[in-house]
């Protein structure tokens, strides 16, 4: 049986490159591609892949939020995170949320394949730089208690707001009423103790939600 893989990255060229690498390997099969975190979560439910390769920095719903939802909705799908940076905020949260590995995008092809094969064997895999960092830190340390109060919907809207979308634009994207988005925004601000749009963006940057 082939090891079935879902690719999720918001750059088409990156996905094409990953697909070419993976499809040269016997026993690996790319069954779906997603350009957003929302698509990744939905396609995982539809196709039931063995592994999801998630880019951390996707817009709309980032890879870390997609990881959280996959763990809840598709617990049998292994998840390997892909990122440009070994940022401690991203790494610690990925580990805490149950990622099976964390690979830097500038790794050589052999390292990516080694990571996938390790996960296929039921092991975890971290790029050397990430592994060295984890040895010095406690991955279970608390990252942000206030953020944990947000619902999945509120986290999604929080990211969209931090990316500069207006209430009206978010309402259109999520097929919700403007009043509903305004209500969610007010609750997000209250739960996180924020008082302005600038504070909201700064808080999202500090949490690694946006860069």
Residue spans of the domains in the chain: they are 3-135, 147-207
Whether pLDDT at 202 is above 70: yes
**What DSSP character marks residue 1?**
-
CATH top-level class of 147-207? mainly alpha
Q: For residue range 73-96, what is the model confidence (pLDDT) as tens digits?
A: 999 999 999 998 777 778 888 888
Sheet of 28-34, strand order: 28-34, 3-8, 51-55, 78-83, 101-104, 125-126
Mean pLDDT value across the chain: 89
Average pLDDT rounded to a whole number, residues 160-178:
93
Average pLDDT rounded to a whole number, residues 15-26:
92
Domain 3-135 in CATH 3.40.50.2300: yes
Whether pLDDT at 208 is above 80: no
Q: For residue range 108-142, what is the model confidence (pLDDT) as tens digits?
A: 889 999 999 999 999 999 998 888 877 766 555 55
Q: What is the pLDDT of residue 201?
A: 87
pTM for the whole structure: 0.74
Q: What is the pLDDT of residue 46?
A: 96
Q: Give the 3-state DSSP-derived string for the chain, with helices as H, strands as E and coil as C.
A: CCEEEEEECCCHHHHHHHHHHHHCCCCEEEEEEECCHHHHHHHHHHHCCCEEEEECCCCCCCHHHHHHHHHHHCCCCEEEEEECCCCHHHHHHHHHCCCCEEEECCCCHHHHHHHHHHHHCCCCEECHHHHHHHHCCCCCCCCCCCHHHCCHHHHHHHHHHHCCCCHHHHHHHHCCCHHHHHHHHHHHHHHHCCCCHHHHHHHHHHHCCCC
Of the listed ranges 31-40, 71-80, 131-140, 144-153, the least confidently predicted one is 131-140
Whether pLDDT at 211 is above 70: no
């Amino acid at each position: 049986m082939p090891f079935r893989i879902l690719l999720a990255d918001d750059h088409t060229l990156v996905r094409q490159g990953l697909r070419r690498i993976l499809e040269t390997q016997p026993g690996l099969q790319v069954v779906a591609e997603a350009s957003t975190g929302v698509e990744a979560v939905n396609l995982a439910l539809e196709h039931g892949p063995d592994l999801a390769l998630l880019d951390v920095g996707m817009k709309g719903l980032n890879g870390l939020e997609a990881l959280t939802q996959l763990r809840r909705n598709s617990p049998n799908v292994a998840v390997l995170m892909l990122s440009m940076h070994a940022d401690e905020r991203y790494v610690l949260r990925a580990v805490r949320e149950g990622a099976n590995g964390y690979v830097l995008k500038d790794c050589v092809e052999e390292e990516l394949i080694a990571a996938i094969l390790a996960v296929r064997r039921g092991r975890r895999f971290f790029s050397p730089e990430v592994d060295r960092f984890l040895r010095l830190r406690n991955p279970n340390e608390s990252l942000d208690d206030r953020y944990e109060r947000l619902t999945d919907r509120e986290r999604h809207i929080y990211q969209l707001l931090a990316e500069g979308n207006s209430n009206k634009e978010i309402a259109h994207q999520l097929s919700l009423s403007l009043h509903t988005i305004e209500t969610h925004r007010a609750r997000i601000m209250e739960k996180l103790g924020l008082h302005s749009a600038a504070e909201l963006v700064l808080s999202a940057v500090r949490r690694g939600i946006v860069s």
